[in-house]
């Protein structure tokens, strides 16, 4: 479907710039149509083409691909894209949000809170960051409660197994021989 741009290898800087703009346009369209696999491929191609130009990497492409990858449940790859975006532009607010989302999905509660707090420091009025912080705190608490319950259950099961293995066998009835039949 997008083979024409995905297979194109332009030589000069002007052709690369035109190709990147076309790819970005198509990637946004694919995202809007919820065609995440195509959007991921297109953003990846744009990133690859830009790496070969003096202009270099573009933070927004990594941020957008991170969002696509979150939608595809490719959490670790989304996290890497968000981190790369922040390396390129530390003030790119959406990248901090996507980093926090990825960390939250991985269950890295404290890191998710830190990432969201970094974003909140860049954009203090952004309620989405506070929502992420609150969710990470709730999830961390729920996770701790679940782990404590599992530990208690495992201890209870261990005690039950121990008791069962050391319990005396119930006394068995001994058969009496009938004295009348022995004569």
pLDDT at residue 9, rounded to an integer: 85
Q: Which two tokens stand for residue 77?
A: 């790859």
Task: Give the pLDDT confidence of 24-61 residue by residue, as tens digits.
Answer: 999 999 999 999 999 999 999 999 998 887 666 789 99
Helix, strand, coil: what percent of the chain each, to 5? Answer: 75, 0, 25
- pLDDT category at 183 given cuts 50, 70, 90 is very low
Give the span between the Cα atoms of 53 and 17, in whole angstroms: 9
Name the residue among 110, 177, 97 with its Cα closest to residue 140.
110
CA 128 and chain centroid, separation: 18
CA 48 and chain centroid, separation: 23
Task: Give the pLDDT confidence of 60-78 residue by residue, as tens digits.
Answer: 999 999 999 999 999 999 9
Q: Does position 179 have pLDDT exceeding 60, yes or no?
A: no
């Amino acid at each position: 479907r997008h083979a024409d741009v995905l297979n194109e290898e332009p030589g000069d800087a002007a052709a690369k710039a035109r190709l990147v703009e076309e790819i970005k346009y198509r990637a946004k369209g694919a995202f809007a149509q919820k065609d995440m696999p195509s959007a991921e491929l297109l953003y990846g191609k744009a990133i690859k083409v830009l790496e070969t130009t003096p202009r270099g990497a573009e933070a927004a492409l990594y941020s957008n691909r991170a969002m696509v990858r979150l939608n595809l449940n490719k959490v670790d790859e989304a996290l890497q894209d968000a981190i790369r975006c922040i390396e390129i532009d530390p003030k790119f607010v959406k990248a901090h949000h996507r980093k926090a989302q990825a960390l939250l999905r991985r269950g890295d509660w404290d890191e998710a809170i830190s990432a969201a707090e970094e974003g909140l420091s860049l954009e203090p009025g952004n309620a989405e960051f506070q929502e992420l912080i609150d969710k990470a705190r709730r999830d961390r608490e729920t996770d701790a409660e679940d782990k404590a319950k599992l530990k208690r259950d495992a201890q209870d099961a261990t005690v039950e197994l121990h008791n069962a293995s050391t319990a005396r066998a119930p006394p068995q009835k001994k058969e009496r021989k009938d004295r009348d039949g022995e004569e």
